[in-house]
Amino acid sequence: MLRTLEWIDRMVAVVLRPVVFAGTIALAAVITLQIVSRVFFTSFAWTEEVARFLLIWITFLGAALAFQQARHIAVTFVRDLMPLNLRRIITGAGILVAIAFLVTLAMIGWKYSGIQSFQKSPSLRISMFWVYLVMPASAAIMTFLSVVDLVRLLAGHDDRTAAPEGLE
């Protein structure tokens, strides 16, 4: 079971990396188009909206990718000074707090997406549900990754921050 969870964990990065990269390239292209069209032509109304939506999506998906790669800021020097058993308990407690927060974020994000589903974006006329959907989706991804971390911890393996480069 742990091997399967770790494989899915790695596949999260395999999927998210190109998506975040493509979103970043698209954001740069849209902003460039926006600048060029303002300077030389009549500006396109939709570019500002697309840029905003792309930034929202790459921020949340990038946060999930950073979580998968253990790249979020963590102050662990006190935890690392603890004996192994106490360190594992503290790490487990931290993971449980993260799971509680992420599940709450996913539930609130899903509810908010539903509340905003009737609203249409001004230029593109798409449902704002699709814009806000990234919040519960990324929270669900990070919740899964936290569960993998908890299973790894209970199985006696190192936490994500100590994982070898192959798991990134």
Domain residue ranges in the chain = 2-167
- Residue 127: φ, ψ to 5°: -65, 135
Query: Please, are residues 23 and 61 in contact by the beta-carbon 8 Å criterion?
Result: yes
Higher pLDDT, 46 or 161: 46
pLDDT of res. 158: 74
Q: How confident is the model at residue 161 (pLDDT cuts 50, 70, 90)?
A: low
pLDDT above 80 for 89: yes
Please tell me the distance from the alpha carbon of residue 135 to that of residue 59, in angstroms, as a whole number.
10
pLDDT of res. 44: 87
Query: Please, are residues 97 and 38 in contact by the beta-carbon 8 Å criterion?
Result: no
pLDDT of res. 1: 80
pLDDT of res. 66: 95
Kindly provide the b/e burial profile for residues 127-158, where b requires at least 16 CB atoms within 10 angstroms of the residue's own CB.
bbbebbbbbbbbbbbbbbbbbbbbebbeeeee
Q: DSSP of 29-96, one letter per residue?
A: HHHHHHHHHHHHSPPPTHHHHHHHHHHHHHHHHHHHHHHHTT-S----HHHHHS-HHHHHHHHHHHHH
pLDDT above 70 for 122: yes
Please tell me the distance from the alpha carbon of residue 45 to that of residue 13, in angstroms, as a whole number.
34
Q: Which run of H or of E encompasses 103?
A: helix 84-115
pLDDT of res. 19: 96
**pLDDT, the chain, mean:** 90
Mean pLDDT, rounded, for 115-127: 91
Q: How confident is the model at residue 25 (pLDDT cuts 50, 70, 90)?
A: very high
pLDDT of res. 162: 60
pLDDT above 50 for 163: no
